[in-house]
Structure 1
Amino acid sequence: MRSERRLREGLRHVHWIGGGSGAGKSTIARRIAARHGLRLYDTDEAMADHARRSTPEDSPFLSAFAAMDMDERWVSRSPKTMLETFRWFQGEGFGLIVDDLLRLPRDPPVLAEGFRLLPRLVAPLLAEPRRAVWLLPTPDFRRAAFDSRGSLWSIAGRTGDPERALRNLLERDRMFTERLSEEARRLGLGVVEIGTAMTEDDLGRRVAAAFGL
């Protein structure tokens, strides 16, 4: 088993952007990577590959989720249950992210981003605390982001009760963002709160400053 010390050394060249759903992580990560010459690693893009590489033994939450129909996933269960049983929110597959990052060249440095980067999992891998930051959107910001994308409706619209499914998804994501905030602050890691008044330029500057770029 790899020691945390060896992992920290092997990942010294990595910056991390985590955060709540709808926080604009991908947009800001692309912008910072382009401006500062970093290699971007998008954990969302790797999800399908990581799901294929998972086994029922190491991914019990994924196996249970795959066996449900759309109403069982998004309508009949409470938002709290949805939060507690969603595999990516529980850290399933995080080891595959680490494996991917260790295989990347050290030059240029890497910027990893995505909601799967949970503070409690990233913290032991940090050579310096300032290498990571979590973006925490307000409910209004998150709802506006989802409305502009239509991403939650694409899920809720395939259930028997789209309105209830949407409410469940929004509440689940609110609780997830709250949990990230508590966890990151408890571990002494950087956070940036994002409201509707914050511009993309403002956010980009704050994240770059948090990294010391």
Structure 2
Amino acid sequence: MRHEETAGDARLRHVYWIGGGSGAGKSTIARQLADRHGLRVYATDDVMPDHAGRSSAEDSPRLSEFMAMDMDERWVNRSPQVMLETFHWYRGESFGLIVQDLLRLPAEPGVIAEGFRLLPRLVMPLLTAPLHAVWLLPTPGFRRAVFDSRGGSSWAFLGQTSDPEGALRNLLERDRMFTERLREETARLDLHVIEVDTATTPDDLTLQVAQAFGL
């Protein structure tokens, strides 16, 4: 793990980045850290509708393709592998809009950016301090426990398909493969990861991320 300063983008040296797999607890941890350390939270999930509206078909072709699909085409008829390879946010589409948003925020008191859209290969060139970024990698068991604890409310949109159970299996498998891809990419780039399993409590995870950031 590298500790030295890197070139990065000095305009973003006040940003702490929390990426990772879906359902890993990124939003919860970001809010807890922000409350404890007086930081601002920038949630990339919250700005997805805005970014979709600001993206052109030329800049985000996979987003345009996704928006043109019906619910079965999105979640039932395609394999998890195809879903993984063609999902626009997983391909980094509109990541530049995240950077634009962050540059518009004041540097004080500091920002925690969080969300699955923070792909290691895209965040890495921006880092002036590699320890300002961490990726949370949930196990499949943890991911399923999150689904069960929420009562499926976060996946209610799958009820709009002709096969909600099949759509859920596809979604969970796609997200499992995405997490494995993050694991490979962070290892290749020598970036910090934290494994999240069913024994991990939110307080434990918050402490681990705070320690990783040096807060």
What is the TM-score normalised by the length of structure 1? 0.95
Runs of 4+, deviation exceeding 3 Å: none
Whole-angstrom distance in 2 between the partners of 1:166 and 1:194: 21
**5+ unaligned residues in a row in structure 2: which ranges?**
1-5
The percentage of aligned residue pairs carrying the same residue is 71
Q: Which residue number corresponds to residue 188 of structure 1?
A: 190
Q: Is the 8 A contact 1:39 1:110 kept in 2?
A: yes
Superposed counterparts of 1:32-43, under 5 Å: 32-43=33-44
Distance 2:132 2:46 in 1: 22
Match of 1:157, SS state, is helix
From 172, 177, 180, give the equivalent of 1:178: 180
Amino acid at match of 1:179: R
Structure 1 CA distance, aligned partners of 2:154 and 2:163? Answer: 13
When structure 1 is superposed on structure 2, of 153-162 and 165-174 the one drifting more is 153-162
Query: How big is each residue's C-alpha offset from its partner over 1:90-113, in whole Å with a ceiling of 9 and x where there is no partner?
Result: 000100000000011011111100
Number of positions where the alignment pairs a residue of Structure 1 with one of Structure 2: 209
- Tell me which residue corresponds to 2:170: 168
How far, CA to CA, are the matches of 1:39 and 1:20 in structure 2?
22
Q: Does 1:128 align with 2:129?
A: yes
TM-superposed deviation, 1:25: 0.4
* TM-score (normalizing by structure 2): 0.94
Distance in structure 2 (CA, Å) of the matches to 1:208 and 1:65: 36
1:169-189: CA deviation from partner (whole Å, max 9, x where unpaired):
000000001101111111011
User: Whole-Å Cα distance in 2 between the matches of residues 132 and 52 of structure 1?
Assistant: 28
Please list, as runs of the form range in 1=range in 2, the aligned pairs for 1:131-170 lying within 5 A after superposition: 131-149=132-150, 150-151=152-153, 153-170=155-172
Cα RMSD (Å)? 1.2
1:89 aligns with 2:98: no
Q: Give the Cα–Cα distance (whole angstroms) in 2 for the partners of residues 173 and 95 of structure 1.
A: 23
> How far, CA to CA, are the matches of 2:197 and 2:17 in structure 1?
21
- Deviation of 1:37 after TM superposition, in Å, equals 1.0
> Is 1:8 matched with 2:6?
no
The aligned residue for residue 119 of structure 2 is 118
Whole-Å separation in 2 of the counterparts to 1:72 and 1:151:
21
1:191 CA drift (Å): 0.3
Check the 8 A contact 1:152/1:169 in 2, yes or no: no
The 1-side partners of 2:19 and 2:74 are apart by 24
Deviation per CA, 1:11-66: give whole Å up to 9, x if none: 01100000000001000000001101111111111111100100011010011001
